[in-house]
Structures are given as structure tokens and as C-alpha cells.
Amino acid sequence: MKIQEERNKKETRVVFSFKMEKQNGLTSIDSFELPKHTKVIKGIQLLSDYPDRLFYRGKQRIEIGGEELFPDGFESKILMSSLSVAPRERFFELGDVLPGDLSVKIRFEDKDHQGAAFGGGYRVTIVLLIEEAI
């Protein structure tokens, strides 16, 4: 029975991305959606085209399927990983979060920091490690 269950699911990475263009501002995104066959969300990772800006300046609230996983002000650096870490190990493990209504909502905040100038802004990428039914 367990072998049959393993054959009926696959691990996939889902990528959502947005541009942070408001220095010291807020951006809310509520249009991201998980694939319809999502069974559980296993992990999350944050990336950026300017990692230092995301690391020092970024904070966010993340809600998946109607459940708040990370509250307002949760620091981006906690969900980031360096390139020296093996790709599979770069995810912040969530356990098995149920997808609920499949929605992914993010409220992202940029705040000035002496460690990284805002420049022309930066792209924030969220990678979710999910398990899908096939």
C-alpha cells in the first residue's frame, strides 16, 4: 500500500516572484496560487537578484491556504540560504502544511538598513517545496 502511495505523488518546486519598488514601503500580493493537485507544502526558500538587499531590508508576512505561517515583520534572512548549501537543503522546513484554498498571500516590507542601499529595488522570489498528487 505504501509503495502505491509513493507512486501517486511527486515533489515539485513552485516559484513566485515580484519586484520590490517601494523604498521603505509595503507590497501586498494576493494573486499567487498553488497547483490544484497540491497535497502538502513541505518547505520554503527566499531568493533575490540582490541577496544583500533582501537579507538586510526585507520582512514579510506569509499566508498559505488561509493559514498564517509567518507573521508581520518576519525577517527574510531567516528564510534565505547561501549557495554553499546543497540545493535540497536550502528550504526552511515547514513539516506538512495543508494547502487549504491553494492561495499564497505575501505582505512584504522594505526598511532602510545601512548594510544595503535600496538602489533600483530588487526582485523577491519565493520557492515552495510541495507534494502533488499525480
Q: How far apart are CA 80 and CA 123, in angstroms?
A: 14
Predicted pLDDT of residue 4: 57
Percent of the chain with pLDDT over 90: 86
Average pLDDT rounded to a whole number, residues 75-89: 91
- Residue 116: is its pLDDT beyond 70? yes
Predicted pLDDT of residue 86: 87
Q: Is the CB of residue 38 less than 8 Å from the CB of residue 61?
A: no
Q: How confident is the model at residue 21 (pLDDT cuts 50, 70, 90)?
A: very high
Q: How confident is the model at residue 14 (pLDDT cuts 50, 70, 90)?
A: very high
Q: How far apart are CA 5 and CA 53, in angstroms?
A: 42
Q: How confident is the model at residue 61 (pLDDT cuts 50, 70, 90)?
A: very high
- Residue 3: is its pLDDT beyond 90? no
Measured CA to CA in angstroms, residue 120 lies from 12, 19, 20, 49 at distances of 32, 10, 9, 11
pTM of the model: 0.91
Query: Hey, what domains does the chain have and what are their CATH numbers?
Result: 2-133 (2.60.120)
Say how many C-beta atoms besides its own lie within 10 A of residue 78's C-beta: 11
Average pLDDT rounded to a whole number, residues 94-106: 95
Average pLDDT rounded to a whole number, residues 40-56: 97
- Residue 113: is its pLDDT beyond 60? yes
